[in-house]
Amino acid sequence: MARTPDIKTLVSVVADGLLQREREPAVIEKLVAAGVPPSEAPTIYRRVKAACQQGVQAVVTDGLSAPNGPPQDPLLAEAFRVGQANMRSAIRTPWTRRPIAVLGAALVLAAIIWFLLR
């Protein structure tokens, strides 16, 4: 009896593949290794990829591209949420790094001024 792959595992395989810019055949192989039947893996890959992209687009358009929210299918809904989370993280990351960079630059500048005025 074949094991049933976990929804989060399948979405993670596809989302990680997209983030790492892996080629479609490589991601499909990973889906098969996770327990997806080989005949269904390409379809699942394309559906999950599209749902991830819809989640990203929903963040960019502030929900206008998905007025009804995530898809009803649990697999696609999880992919949609992962796409949203990845996009929100990508948007938030530069803003969280900026204060650290400014503080570091200020400390370096203060040290240079201190050495010059001594």
- Ordered mean pLDDT values, 10 residues apiece, the chain (118 residues): 76 93 96 94 95 89 81 92 86 62 79 79
Q: How far is CA 98 from the centre of its chain?
A: 21
CB half-sphere exposure, 79, CA atoms < 13 A: 27
The confidence score (pLDDT) of residue 10 equals: 93
The confidence score (pLDDT) of residue 1 equals: 39
Dist. CA 111–CA 113, nearest whole Å: 5
Q: What is the pTM of this model?
A: 0.72
- Say if residues 66 and 57 touch (Cβ distance below 8 Å): yes
Dist. CA 107–CA 22, nearest whole Å: 41
Max distance between CA atoms of the chain, in angstroms, equals 78
Question: Residue 92 — φ and ψ, nearest 5°?
Answer: -75, -30
